[in-house]
Chain A
Amino acid sequence: MKRRQFLKGAASAALAPYVMRGYAADPINIGGLYPSTGSMAQIGQACVVAAKLAVEMVNNAGGVKALGGAKLNLIISDVQSDTTVTRTETDRLISGNKLSAIHGCYASALTLIASEVCERAKVPIITGSSTDQLNKGRHFTFTPFARASQFAKAQLQMAKLVSDKPKVAVVFENTAFGTATSNGLKELAPGEGVEIVMFEPYSAGFTDAGPLINKVKASGANMLFSVSYLNDLILIVRTVKQVGLNIAINGGSGGFVIPDFYKNVGKAADGLLGVAHWNHDVNDAAQKVNTEYKKRTGEFIFEYAGGLVAQTYMLVDAMERAKSADPVKVRDALAQLDVSSGYAAMAPGGKVKFGPDGKNVYGHPVGVQWQNGDLVSVFPKDDARGKLLKT
Chain B
Amino acid sequence: MLEIVAQAVINGLLIGGIYALVSIGVTLIFGVVKIVNFAQGEFVMIGMYITYFLGTQFGMDPVLSLVISMPVLFVIGMLVQHFLIRRVLGLNDLPQIFLTFALSLLILNVALMVLTPNYRTLHTSYSDAALHFGGLYVPVAKLIAFGVAMLLSAVLWLFLRSTDLGKAMRAASQNREVAQLMGINPHRVFAVALGIALALAGAAGSLLMPFYPAYPMVGQVFVLMAFVAVVLGTLGNVVGALVASLLMGIAESLGIQFIGADSGLIVVFLLLLATLALRPSGLAAGRAS
Contacts and interface: CB of A to CB of B under 8 A. Distances in A.
Interface centre among B130, B261, B264, B265 (most CB of A within 10 A): B261
B273 to A, nearest CB: 18
Contacts, number: 107
Interface residues of A, number: 38
B119 A210 contact: no
Interface in B97-137: 109, 112, 116-121, 123, 127-130, 132, 137
Contacts of B215: 42, 231
A109 interface: no
A161 interface: no
A225 B137 CA distance: 22
Nearest to A35: B117
A61 interface: no
B47 interface: no
A140 B208 CA distance: 46
A37 B110 CA distance: 11
A238 interface: yes
Contacts of A218: 4
B61 interface: no
Interface string B1-27: 000100110011011001100000000
Nearest to B252: A211
Contacts of A174: 262
A264 interface: yes
A238 B132 contact: no
Interface in B1-58: 4, 7-8, 11-12, 14-15, 18-19
B253 interface: yes
Nearest to B3: A218
Contacts of B222: 207
B256 A244 contact: no
Contacts of B253: 208, 210-211
Nearest to A198: B261
B128 A241 contact: yes
Contact of B137 (A37, A201, A202, A244): A244
A171 to B, nearest CB: 7
Contacts of A266: 123
Contacts of B120: 264
Interface in A38-55: 38-39, 41-42, 45
A315 interface: no
Given A42-B118, A264-B213, A211 B261 contact: yes
A214 B257 contact: yes
B260 interface: yes
Contacts of B121: 234, 263-265
B217 interface: yes
A200 B139 contact: no
A interface majority secondary structure: helix
B91 interface: no
Interface string A199-242: 01111011110111011001000000000001100110011011
A231 B119 contact: yes
Interface string B200-225: 00000000000111011100011001
Contact of A242 (B118, B130, B221, B256): B130
A19 interface: no
A268 B128 contact: yes
A243 B112 contact: no
A65 to B, nearest CB: 37
Contacts of B217: 38-39, 41
A203 B264 contact: yes
B8 A214 contact: yes
A45 B264 contact: no
Interface string B225-258: 1000000000000000000000000001100110
Contact of B15 (A39, A201, A207, A234): A207
A41 B262 contact: no
Contacts of B119: 42, 230-231, 234, 260, 264
Contacts of A208: 11, 14-15, 142, 253
Contacts of A215: 256-257, 261
A250 to B, nearest CB: 18
Contacts of A38: 217
A37 B109 contact: yes
A210 B217 CA distance: 21
A266 B122 CA distance: 10
A37 B221 CA distance: 16
Chain A to chain B: the 3 pairs with minimum beta-carbon distance, closest first: A202-B261, A210-B11, A41-B117
22 contacts: A38-B217, A42-B119, A45-B117, A171-B261, A174-B262, A201-B262, A203-B262, A207-B15, A210-B7, A210-B14, A210-B139, A211-B256, A214-B7, A215-B256, A215-B257, A218-B4, A231-B215, A238-B211, A242-B130, A242-B139, A243-B137, A244-B132
